[in-house]
Amino acid sequence: MEYRRLGTSGLKVPALSFGAGTFGGQGPLFGAWGNTDAREARRLVDICLDAGITMFDTADVYSSGASEEVLGEAIKGRRDQVIVSTKTGLPMGDGPGDAGSSRSRLITACEDALRRLGTDYIDLFQLHAFDAGTPIEEVLSTLDDLVRAGKVRYLGISNFSGWQAMKSLASAERYGHPRYAAHQVYYSLIGRDYEWELMPLGLDQGLGALVWSPLGWGRLTGKVRRGQPLPASSRLHHTADYGPPVEDEHLYRVVDALDEIAQETGKSIPQIAINWLLHRPTVSSVIIGARNENQLRQNLGAVGWTLTPDQMAKLDAASGKTAPYPYFPYQRQEGFARLNPPAVAPPPTAQPASRTRGHGPSRRIDPQRC
């Protein structure tokens, strides 16, 4: 297993990590994902560790804490071998203090997560959503306290917009609070919105991407195809409305390209879709899920090989879409520049072309060319 730095932090994480959303499944969404108990979870953790997957991601909202509890049981006796990542911020109840990132909520959520996980520290503690009702300074100072107390080691965010992430990072810089190391994001061949704002921000600010739902909410499993009904066993019958939307024709166009590459490589559609993500800028780790041992072993086949440049280009073309405003003018300019290269190479600039953590001039990143 390849290990990568989480953004510009010192934490090294495996290229693939395991999402524990299937553990202890309860309710209409998480119950449809899976209901792995502690015994089965321990077996899946065994397989992960044997393959070099050492990071396990969960959240308090997954099955109302049951996922954290099952994960805690599965890693018991080998806490020093794993990286535990969890999230908080989404509603855990109907009370006024049951959601968000207030000081009270964060302290309580951290203590609850530690108890459920059966540990005295969390390797990566992430905000599951931006809380517009709590001052950023209050959020960051509380997280700083948790880090200084040794209860949390690294910090991250999930599902933030560009301005929310940048304002938080700027505040951390101003007041000397720990910076976020990770941004857990939705990113897949049928969902590339991440590239237009959040990826350039991640490159500029040193935020490592942890990718959730790399198979497009279960649509890139190879079971969803043009002209065929959705299989009766597909969880999309119950969960499609919860996840990211995608136009049918766009999905089928991507699946057609994946089919061609599957025939060339002998790899499965999910393995190809995950492998493509592993070669994208800013991606520190792709979170894979599995309801059983067979699914897990299939997903493990996404590493240890590389798509050719032509295959990457074919997937880029099939999955590419017109960027949203204000990015589509830049996208068109890049396309024009590729078709009309200058007759003479431009002189080198006196300044570096890119920057990190806000120092030096910046260039626009075109993900289509990365």
Do the Cβ atoms of 303 and 2 come closer than 8 Å? Answer: yes
**Amino acid of residue 229:** P
Cα–Cα distance between 317 and 299 in angstroms, integer?
Answer: 24
CA 130 to chain CA centroid, Å, is: 16
The CA-atom distances, in angstroms, between 361 and each of 300, 305, 331, 351 are 40, 36, 20, 7
Cα–Cα distance between 126 and 3 in angstroms, integer?
Answer: 20
- Positions annotated as catalytic residues are 62
Do the Cβ atoms of 331 and 368 come closer than 8 Å? Answer: yes
The CA-atom distances, in angstroms, between 210 and each of 47, 48, 175, 308, 324 are 21, 17, 26, 24, 23
Which of these, 66, 238, 226, 86, lies nearest to 152 by C-alpha position?
86
Q: Which helix (H) or strand (E) holds 126?
A: strand 122-127
